[in-house]
Structure 1
Amino acid sequence: MGETERGSGKTIDPGRSITWPVGVGLGAALGYLLDPENGRRRRRLIHDKARHFKRVGATEARKAFADAENRLRGAVAEVRARADQTEHVPDDLLVSRVRARLGHVSSHARTVEVHARNGHVTLSGPALEGEADDIVREVGAIPGVRAVHDELERFESAEDVPSLQGGRERKGRRFFGTEWMPAYRMFGVATSLPLIGYGLRQRGASGGIVTGLGATLLVRSLTNLPLSKLIGIGAGPDLIRVRKHFRVDASPEHVTSYLRDAGRVGELFSLLESVTQVEKGNEEGVGSVWELMASGPLGLPMRWQIELTEVVPKERVSWRSLEGGRLEMEGTLRVHPEDGGSVLDFDLCYNPPGGVLGDLLAALLGASLRHCLRDDLPRIQRVLGGAGGEAGSLGDAAAREASATGAESSQEKGRSRVEVAEPRTTELKTGGDPRQAPESGDRAHP
């Protein structure tokens, strides 16, 4: 039954406030999937993604159960060992346990010397100041260790200490680290679903807070990404990575000269509304600053500036965004000659407003940068292949017509290559430097 609003006598249907957003969402989803032009491709893509997530989910579930079983066994064994105070651990076994634990808390575990005698462990050698106390504390918690003698030589920095060069920073055993273990992720999913259900049944601000916490925990557990990357705050430009490999019927010199011309770059990407040169660089274009204007989700304008950081004619063009814009990005386009044309390796990292969640929302609204780049590949091949290139150097119309025919054939060939390689395109990937050479076999992302 509905509730009666105080002082008015009107009956309020609790489900009415929920029904219309659901109806709008269903209508938008149907329009998205039944679109005459792209609906079939979208339905096929959703089908492939569903099969992929089903396979990945089964694998992750097996990992989570195995990880939880191993951790449970380890916890039981540790409790038994602590309860049995009379257990005598041989010195060589105790040294091995300490060595195994050092790898979790020390970035230079090999520099620490370990000696054990009748349960008394002596630690010596160089260590970083920020890690020394953690090393002593972790070693003292090892079963069988009765006392720890700290003889570590502490250094505030690894500079001028040859034995402390290199190494990787250790985070220790933290639940809220950058990456969660499979058992922690399974626990997060199992905890988030009841929270979401409970929050949806409640009313007012408390229900919304509980639902938000449950949804945040669910997304964090499924994606295994820290909150800073999920919302894009402090994550840097290398939050989402997109790689493309395709061919165009144009010379490498033509491609690089085209990409350093602000007046023509806007013709390549449908998302860009305008590209304006703000500052002029050197003769090669290095140091040039462009202001880009694009249409974001729901038609909201987006404006940011980029700077050309490297231009090598016939080889590559690199750029990065300047501070203060709504979109952080950096990327490189490498060009390789092949059979009278060029093969392009496009590598872009970007951090959109709202991070990964913002990019997912933009994808639902059809304004995601990575999806626009995918859809613009035939356009890029057509514009670069038909705006001069090799055909521009031929002096007669017959040669231009023959080149245009070859461009259309190459466009169809390039499109089929892109469609085949599309499932291996890296998207929603954290980390990576776009100035490095592209790797083969990109990993998929949640």
Structure 2
Amino acid sequence: MINGTVTVHPRADSSLRHDPVTRGLGWVSAALGVVQLLAPARFARNLGVGDAPRHRLTSTLVGIRELGVAGGLLGLPHPAWLWARVGGDAMDLSLLVRALHDHDGRGLSRTVAGTAATVAITLTDLYAAVTRTTRRTSMELRSTTTVTGTPDEVYRFWSRLDRLPTFMAHLEDVRMTGERRSHWRAAAPFGRDVEWDAETTQDVPGERIAWRSLDGADVPNSGEVRFVPAPGGRGTELHVTLTYDLPGGAVGKAVTKYFGEEPAQQLDDDLRRFKQVFEVGEVVRSDGAPHGKRARKEFPQHPARPLDDDERKEVLA
């Protein structure tokens, strides 16, 4: 019997504090703010709009806004501050367009140049805001199955990472790259592949294996497998917990579910295949079962048969 659950935890991307684009835009806001506050008349003249009182006041107010945004981007970075820059750019462009409409011709080239520069800055700010407004979905999957075998036997089978692709349908390759490190490659929706390096964080023979992906993973993830003696000596309960950032957030989850790649169902299917491979020696599939996704075609259909003594020893080796 397979029992699975899924929990979704939306969270904001916390990488903006060290993002060079975000920090660069923060320093741009700071520089503009200081100039506009200290020399509002000169700033207005450089834009070719003159230094009338209303222009000096506008320059001062824009300078205060820029310093506020700079403080947010450099002190407490969040996508909202990037969108604040985009909103400020829109205000600046509207003021410059109005200035071009009412211009008397003196300093027109400077106003045109200022407008062009503001358009370029607006596009940069918009790009930064869109690409940094990422809502990752931290998804936790849990599933349990009971396997006929002792915890030590089940642990020995699972701890051979190169065997995992034999029952994990979307896992294409796992290879060891160090004493506690490995490289993983898996099939993703829409024909894509994702890869990551992982390290084993806990390895207690017969009890627990835990791991986490390293920096640079296409899909950051972590997981744990616990091997618990089943009540009444009926084998081993396999408790699997996986946590990973689902690409595309809630929208991505809905799309993958629509195309038959629902994550919770994937884990349940993987454990069902693990039980079959461990107990029977191969994945049992009926002649009428669909192949489904490309990775699932790797599991040929054969009638069920018990293992002979040599095969049983190989499975448990």
What TM-score range do you get, normalising by the shorter chain? 0.3 to 0.5
TM-score of the aligned structures, taking structure 2 as reference length:
0.44
TM-score of the aligned structures, taking structure 1 as reference length:
0.32
